[in-house]
Amino acid sequence: MVESKCIEVDNAQSSNNETNPKLNNEQWQALIALHRTLLHEHHDFFLASQHPSASPALRRLASKYAMPARMWRHGIHSFLELLRHR
């Protein structure tokens, strides 16, 4: 799953800057692509779950699994923190 890979990579990068050398351009591009993919997955999920023809059970999934918070935490905020500490 893309979300777990984002969490793994972000934790590895933020855990210890001394043991993890700075990322080169290719690694940054891969990290950007990974987070972009995660955001696209969340977008697709929201489009499907909030569609007018979606069942009530499907509409409740976003709140049940805290999807907006997860999108912010793992798709946006963690990446911004990596950029900030770059």
pLDDT at 13: 86
pLDDT at residue 64 is higher than 70: yes
> Domain extents for the chain?
2-11+23-84
d(CA 79, CA 74) in angstroms, rounded, equals 8
pLDDT tens, residue by residue, 18-31: 566 788 999 999 99
**Alpha helices, H only, 23-70:** 25-49, 56-64, 67-70
pLDDT at 18: 59
pLDDT at 80: 95
- Residue partners of 5: CB distance under 8 A and separation at least 6: 34
